[in-house]
Chain A
Amino acid sequence: MEKITNEQLWDLADGLFSDAQRVEMEEKIKQNSELKSRFDTILAEKRLFSISLMEKPKSDFAAQLLQNWQEEQTSVSTANYTLLKVVFAVFLLLSVVLSGFLFFSQSVSEPIQVNLPTFELPWKSISLAITILGALTTVAFVEKLLEYRFYRNFAE
Chain B
Amino acid sequence: MTISDEIIIEKALLGEQQGFALLVEKYEQYVFTLALRIVKNREDAHEVAQDAFLKAFRYLNTFRGECKFSSWLYRIVYSTGLNHIRTKRPEILSINNEEKPVIIPNFHTEDAAFQMENEEQKKLIQAAIQELPPDYATIITLFYLFEQKISEICVTMEMNESNTKTKLSRARQRLREIIEKNYSELKK
> Hey, which chain A residues are within 8 Å of B58, CB to CB?
72, 151
Select the stretch in B64-72, B84-92, B93-101 that faces chain A.
B64-72
Q: Which residue of B21, B30, B125 is within 8 Å of A51 (Cβ)?
A: B125
Indicate with 1 or 0, residue by residue over A105-144, a CB within 8 angstroms of chain B CB atoms.
Answer: 0000000000000000000000000000000000000000
A34 at the interface (CB under 8 A from B): no
Contact of B62 among A11, A51, A58, A148 (CB under 8 A): A148
| Cβ–Cβ < 8 Å partners of A66 in chain B | 17, 20-21, 24
Q: Which residue of B lies closest to A62 (CB)?
A: B24
B145 to chain A, nearest CB (A): 6
Question: A41-B109, A154-B62 are contacts. A65–B24 as well, Cβ < 8 Å?
Answer: yes
Within 8 A of A (CB), among B122-145: 122, 125-126, 129, 140-141, 143-145
Secondary structure class of chain B's binding surface, majority of residues: helix
Q: Which of A41, A49, A152 has the largest number of chain B CB atoms within 10 A?
A: A49
**Across the interface, do B50 and A64 meet the contact criterion of CB distance under 8 Å?**
yes
- Tell me the residues in window 49-75 of chain A with beta carbons closer than 8 Å to chain B beta carbons: 49-58, 61-62, 64-66, 68-70, 72
Contact B24 A155 (CB under 8 A): no
What residues on B are CB-neighbors of A58 within 8 Å?
A: 46
A61 CA to B155 CA, complexed, in Å: 27
A58 CB to closest chain B CB, in angstroms? 6
Return chain B residues, CB-CB under 8 Å to A154.
Answer: 59, 62-63, 67, 72, 75-76, 155
Q: For residue A156, which residues in chain B have a CB less than 8 angstroms away from its CB?
A: 64, 66
Q: Contacts of A55 on B, CB cut-off 8 Å? A: 29, 32-33, 36, 45
- Answer yes or no: A92 CB below 8 A from chain B CBs: no
Contacts of B118 in A (CB 8 A): 51
CA distance A56 to B108 in the complex (A): 32
- Give B165's nearest chain A residue, CB to CB: A16
Q: Is A65 touching B144 in the complex (CB atoms < 8 A)?
A: no
A16–B33 Cα gap in the complex (Å)?
25
Nearest-Cβ distance from residue B34 to partner chain A, whole angstroms = 9
Cβ of A2 under 8 Å from chain B: no
- Interchain CA distance A46-B64 in the complex, whole Å: 34
Among A14, A52, A61, A70, contact of B17 (Cβ-Cβ < 8 Å): A70
* Docked CA distance A64–B67 (Å): 28
By a CB distance below 8 angstroms, the chain A residues around B126 are: 52-53
Which 7 pairs show the lowest CB-CB distances between chains A and B? Answer: A151-B59, A155-B64, A152-B62, A57-B32, A55-B33, A49-B144, A52-B125
Closest-by-CB residue of A relative to B30 is: A54
B122 touches A61 (CB 8 A): no
User: A26 in the interface, Cβ–Cβ < 8 Å?
Assistant: no
Given contacts A10-B172, A148-B62, A155-B63, contact A62 B36 (CB under 8 A): no
Which chain A residues in 26-54 approach chain B with CB under 8 Å? Answer: 40-41, 44-46, 48-54
Contacts of A49 in B (CB 8 A): 125, 140, 144, 172, 175
